[in-house]
A and B are shown apart, each in its own frame.
Chain A
Amino acid sequence: MSADNQKPERLEATFAFPMLYEWSIGLYGSRFFQEIMNNKRFIGIKCPGCGKIYVPPRRVCGPCFKELTELVPLSDTGVLTAFSVVNYPFIDPNTGSRRPIPYTYGYIQLDGADNIFSHIINETDLSRIKVGMKVRAVFKDRAEMKGNIEDIKYFELIR
């Protein structure tokens, strides 16, 4: 065998098998998606300490460290507090392929909630979208829903 430091052939290994995990999203996380599937509405949860209403609902208020139990219905409308139009190509680790661009990533304060909900907005034209605009959730048809975040198709601007 020669000891020459020749450039070796590059070897690659690709792992193409699905890796199965179970992931519990908790009692209230499941309720949130069930409400969307059954009633096409959002629910939040109210803190008995500070009165803050959180969406998605969770079991503990961090700052108060109190357990939350009071679910409250929320509107399907809200205010766009911030956004960005994603314009660069990248591989989506959820799918292994490129996520379609451009798309608009938005932070929404749902009417009746005190924290922010993130999702996509169906407007990529910068001259037509502005922080502070009213938005409304557009849901999938019941038959297409799977009980996940994509049961909300997107938020549309209310002009």
Chain B
Amino acid sequence: MGRKVAVVGTGQTYHRSHRPDVTSREMIREAVTSALADADLKIKDIDAVVIGNMDHFESINYVDTYSIEGSGAFMKPIMKVSTGGTTGATVAIAAYYHAASGLFDRVLAVGFEKNSESDTTGAIITCSDPIWDRFSYSGAIPSLATEATAYMEQYGATQEDAALVGERDRNHALNNPYAHLQRPLTVKDIMASPMLAYPIKLGDICPRSDGACAMILAADGIAQKTASRPAWFKAVSVRHTYTWFGDSTDYNKGLVSMQQASQEAYARAGIRSPVDELDVAELYLPYTWAGLKWIEDLGLCGRGEAARFVGDKNTHMGGKLPINPSGGVISTNCIGATAMLRVAEAAIQVMGKGGKRQVPEAKNALATGFGGCFWTDVVILSSERP
């Protein structure tokens, strides 16, 4: 059995569509410096580093060595982990394994992306299988859109139901000084925005952002001395299942990777009724329908009930289970950092450092990562040492 581990500090950049003022190394440095300051540590206190972004997006292959001037990993063990959209959460989980193993006491985790320096859609298309999928695949938007058409047909959910998720997250972003898109968007605005790939409109989908996120994890005994209220890892779960889209898209079953990962994490964390026992959720919802369908896959409400559950404001700030106080992925999407931002924002809530976006007395927080070929990572953090 591994050691218990907690998040003791987080840092992130002020996310923008384009950061011509910095290189990605300098962007990483901003996040790392701010995480060290948050934990009141110096770079010399860090024993190992785990870093990741989307493989080859900015044409950088050796991200671990390339990033050293930004990450501060000079003469330290560093490992690159890259798992598509889930990368940021997988990096956080790998950093957790590092500390839990007993080999390293304080571990720095970094996720970043400078989307302005890559052709995001082209790069995502090359992630698909060249023989079977690439000819018809056109990036993240249409493959998500297919899920939306199946969901609407199955449960009668409407485009307006989904747009409310976008309105919610974009409103929440106004409380987050780091969020990329800080202009509120209403259901009406989303419905009137241009159709990109039916039924996804411009207002339904995440932006491309430049940004970085860093987290510092510490092992039991050190975590308590470093942070007054550390965010303990209660459970992690990873489901990177298939690599062909057709294997992952049986919509009668739902998003199986998310169902399995969340069930496993709840069981490990001793959670029986997630909607009652969790206080806040930071979910990787890259488009609005995910805020309906996937909360069903996470067991936060019953099948086909999400439109009513969200419509009754259960997931807005002040509701039963606030989702994405940070504004979520629909407001900020620096891809390699996106899933880590979910874990970091969950930690911020548990540590009580959320400022205007703080959910009062948040004890248990759920974070998810999504990506690859409909894959899921789940992290559950708690103020209570497990």
Contact = CB atoms under 8 A, between A and B. Distances in A.
Interface in A95-147: 99, 105-107, 115-120, 126, 130-132
Contacts of A126: 198
B176 to A, nearest CB: 28
How big is the A interface, by class? 35 or more
B125 A93 contact: yes
B1 interface: no
B148 to A, nearest CB: 8
Nearest to A21: B130
Interface stretch (A3-11, A34-42, A81-89): A81-89
A92 B247 CA distance: 23
B241 A105 contact: no
Contacts of A23: 130-131
A83 B152 CA distance: 12
B215 to A, nearest CB: 32
Given A107-B246, A118-B245, A149-B132, A131 B198 contact: no
B318 to A, nearest CB: 35
B205 to A, nearest CB: 10
Contact of A82 (B125, B131, B195, B251): B251
Interface in B237-254: 241-242, 244-247, 249-251
A87 B199 CA distance: 10
Contacts of A149: 131-132, 135-136
Contacts of A130: 153
A51 to B, nearest CB: 15
Given A90-B122, A107-B146, 8 more contacts: A81-B251, A90-B139, A93-B125, A105-B137, A107-B249, A115-B246, A116-B247, A131-B150
15 contacts: A23-B131, A81-B251, A84-B146, A84-B197, A86-B197, A90-B121, A90-B122, A91-B121, A92-B122, A93-B134, A105-B145, A116-B247, A126-B198, A131-B150, A131-B153
